[in-house]
Amino acid sequence: MATLFEKVNIGGLELKNRMVMTPMGFMFDIDNGISERQRNYLVERAKGGFGLVYPATHFIEDRFEKCQANALWTASHADRLSLAVEQVHQYGAKFALQLSLGLGRVSIINQFTAPKSASEVPSFWYPNLICQPFTKEEIHWMVEQFGYSASLAKCAGVDVLEIHAYGGYLIDQFISSNWNKRTDEYGGSLENRLRIVFELRDAVRATCGDDFPVAVKFTPDHSFEGGRTMEEGIEIAKMLDDAGFAYLHLDRGAYECWYNAVTTTYQERGCQLYIAEALREAGIRSPFMIQGKMDDADLAEKVVAEGTADLIGLGHPSLADPHWPKKVKAGLTDDIIPCIGCNECLYNACMSRFKTCAINPATGFEKDYELKPAAEAQKILVIGGGPGGMTAAITAAKRGFEAELWEKSAELGGTLKAAGAPLFKYDTKRYMDYLIKQVHKHGVTVRLRKEATEEEILRAKPDVVILAAGSKAILPRIPGCEKGNVVEATTLLSQGIETGEKVVVLGGGLVGCETALMLEAQGKDVTIVEMLDQLLLTAVHAPNNDQALKDMIAASKIKVMTSSELTAVEKGKVCVNCDDGGKEIDCDTLVLSVGFRSDHSLAEALEGKVNKVFTIGDNVQPGKIIHAVHQGFHTIRLLEDL
């Protein structure tokens, strides 16, 4: 029976275990080569125990579109790649490289210039722009260039090369009938549409030899209307099965349903596993690498033991905790920082910001953010047991400070209690449980049901006070609130308050939408009332998370009233003004979710009375987990300099 941490031979390549850090975009040099920072980031994951490590996808040319990723077409690119390979190898990991022909219809040049693709189809981002099809001569040139880049990879010491043929990117646009309308030998039949994949494989063999392992990543199920179905995906897998590929790297989705490809907090564990199961049932024998929220060690072990997959890919979980494999192998699962599916890593990329992790501030800063032992003994008093407060307390304890944490409620968690309450937010609940365990493991003194007042804080005589008490919900003044059953959303979520059967949620932001979905899953009749003309306009999160949440609401029975104002509460109903006049809605419980406001009064009261006072997270202004965690971490890391 196969196990997760045994040595395994895949396509002639021996790996020390079956754990793979999958390719994700990351900071590159000005010429798109691997940067020193990216190299440090890769090496940390090799150090953390992964058997196979991928850098970001590498482009093979910039003749047809601006390179929006790493690049490999010059000796200089190869030099820096070889250094990364060398240092990854020093930790016993092997190095895989994914080569891409580009983004095609999903690339962004500008709103006036159409990208090139397999055929004349609309650009994804600007549908009025019709893509220019590649000529056969241009295809042949790209295939030849692909082989050359593969030879550079081999010379740099890369152990396995992967063809980037998935997710609606350029090669997949050739494979897919919904994007490939060609009438030459690269279009029409499935055999013709797959021609480019086999030509790329042959180009690698011609420059690297028949014994150089070549894998292919493809998408058997696009999971959107008009995209590839599993039936065709199985046919493709059959054609790839005996074609000499070291393994098939399986994926799901495309930009039309981006959350299936880059999973979010809203997907279930093992959400892409059904694809591997279907291919095995169809008789596909090739080794599989699977991904898609596989960071449950028991699930990963089961999948390997049953032969459903041979390699387990962890992308975002390796950002949250680069030492995932080592910790699992040592039985230290309570010490694993669990990915929460927030996709702040992707959001930062979309906003042209540095890519890091919301809950691991050291991601991307592996050589920058060392926690040094405290220079002198100091008592750190943290007010508030949410993500920022717990992070600050843990970090203080790690540095050797005397850390004490006060929480006014009966348990730690803060906003994470509400954020992790819906069953579909189990990732956030896991993270809250992790932080609580780490607080106790690191010897932080915890005082629950402890209200922080100016007098109590001064009596404790701390050297440093960290104010992380969060923010307060805004409670709108609505006529008749005293006549109805009214509850604030985060209170409902964190305390598990029961509602009536007919619920109106006032506010269609992130909290309101998640609350509505949770109540609908409980069988409640739910209506969202939102003043703006769309839901989630106030949410500041990754596009795939936004897409996932909107699709969940669309698939639910929740009634949505946008451009609507709730004007009054009466017994058993609420009154709403909307575009087509006033309406009365039956309502047993009104849930308020209209935003938050910070309270700075305690910080002002302590000013000049304690040596150092810092305010972090929602106590500064309502924000996100990434703000609270990073501020808590860096405030303690840099304490002596602040």
Taking CA atoms, 150 is separated from 162, 294, 370, 377, 571, in Å, by 10, 29, 37, 55, 71
Q: Minimal CA–CA distance to 552: which of 296, 127, 268?
A: 268
Q: Is 424 helix (H, G, I), strand (E, B) or coil?
A: helix
Q: Is 324 helix (H, G, I), strand (E, B) or coil?
A: helix
Residue 493's CB: how many other CB atoms inside 10 A? 25
Q: Is 178 helix (H, G, I), strand (E, B) or coil?
A: coil
Q: How far is 579 from 25, CA to CA, in rounded Å?
A: 44
Residue 319's CB: how many other CB atoms inside 10 A? 25
Q: Is 547 helix (H, G, I), strand (E, B) or coil?
A: helix
Helix ranges, 242-365 (H): 258-261, 273-281, 297-305, 316-320, 324-329, 344-350
Q: Is 169 considered catalytic here?
A: yes
CA angle 52-55-60, nearest 5°?
120
How many Å from the N-terminal Cα to the C-terminal Cα in the chain?
A: 55
Tell me which H or E stretch contains 427: helix 426-441
Q: Minimal CA–CA distance to 322: which of 15, 71, 93?
A: 93
Contact 294, 312 (CB under 8 A): yes
Residue 372's CB: how many other CB atoms inside 10 A? 9
Contact 105, 124 (CB under 8 A): yes
Q: How far is 18 from 21, CA to CA, in rounded Å?
A: 10
Given 41, 54, 166, 169, which residue is catalytic? 169
Q: Which amino acid is at 178?
A: N
Tell me which residues are annotated as active site.
169
